[in-house]
Amino acid sequence: MGTIKGFIRKVVERWRRIVVQAVAQVVTLGAIALLVFATTSCAKPVQPTELISDFSEPTPQPNRLTGQIAEVSPPETLESLKQIIDAYTPQVRILSPRPGEVLDDTSATVRLQVRGLPLFKDDTYELGPHLHLFLDNEPYKAVYDLAEPITFENLSPGTHTLRVFASRPWHESFKNQGAFDQRTFHVVAPTPQNQLNASAPLLTYSRPQGTYGAEPIMLDFYLTNAPLHMSAQAEANDDLHDWRIRCTVNDQSFVFDQWQPIWLKGFKPGRNWVQLELIDESGNPIDNRFNNTVRIIDYQPGGDDALSRLVRGELSLKE
């Protein structure tokens, strides 16, 4: 079994630098070491989220997901690492383009600002805290270095929307207030396409994306402008609708109502597809751009990349 101690040390050292610069409470390396030991040796497996497996017949209580695709506990190593990295509360902003800016060129240069989170990619493991940057509803671009220019070329004339949020090294989004930003701009002139309702609930599909070499595979998304379940359920006759997420994996659908990542297994080797929809308590679509997204992913068991090895438990946080 390998070790990712060097990677953890880099995360911790950069976190300490941020804390010192902010004149915050100094956390000693001994405390961090104690936290690592405690989380790796004493942490219990996290229980899966309970899902509603069949929304065609709504039930008041969630049911376990059944069928080929099954929900499982998160990988223990990632859960331990999460307890360390969650010391961060990143604040993300889009600096340019400006809100509503009209560009006279078909390329757009994007400038981002991040506070409270060091961005980097480890040379050995090719993992690190980063940003997920979306143009319209295309798959995200991972941003590890804000010093490198971010340019989108050959944009179609009309309206475009950027969305960005902070991500943990294994691509799970930070969900604290301020970790997300969005920006609408125009190329040549505004058009209805890619125009968001800024006050309506918005779903941003994040993972899964790309190629995977191990199960379980994480399902993650970002949710904005969605009401608290308690508020939405308070008055049955008001206009405030409750929300749920309908996920379909290779024709198998389930519904859940919690904003947190879900780990799934049962993917077939090769091509798989995943669809996420934002719906109300009656199963009707909640209208907004990008609230219904489908992606194709590639699953090739036995991957040797660092994330696959972490998921399989082949890399450890210990000595």
Distance CA 292, CA 278 (A): 7
Distance CA 55, CA 243 (A): 13
Distance CA 10, CA 245 (A): 36
Question: Is the model's pLDDT at 189 over the cut of 90?
Answer: yes
222-252: b (≥16 Cβ within 10 Å) or e: bbbebeeeeebeeeeeeeeebbbbbbbbeee
Distance CA 218, CA 207 (A): 7
Distance CA 100, CA 15 (A): 35
Distance CA 248, CA 257 (A): 15
The pLDDT value given to residue 66 = 66
| Amino acid at position 220, single letter | D
Beta strand pairing status for 102-103 and 130-135?
A: unpaired
The pLDDT value given to residue 43 = 39
The pLDDT value given to residue 31 = 33
List residues bridging with 252 in a β-sheet.
249
The pLDDT value given to residue 205 = 99
| Helices first, then strands: H and E counts in the chain | 5, 19
Distance CA 295, CA 298 (A): 10
The pLDDT value given to residue 67 = 76
Question: Is the model's pLDDT at 184 over the cut of 60?
Answer: yes
Q: What is the pLDDT of residues 105-164, one digit of tens each?
A: 999 999 999 999 999 999 999 999 999 999 999 999 999 999 999 999 999 999 999 999
Per-residue confidence band for 210, with pLDDT thresholds at 50, 70 and 90: very high
Q: What is the pLDDT of residues 23-71, one digit of tens each?
A: 333 232 333 333 333 333 443 444 444 554 444 444 433 445 667 999 9
Q: What is the pLDDT of residues 6-34, one digit of tens each?
A: 666 666 666 556 544 443 332 323 333 33
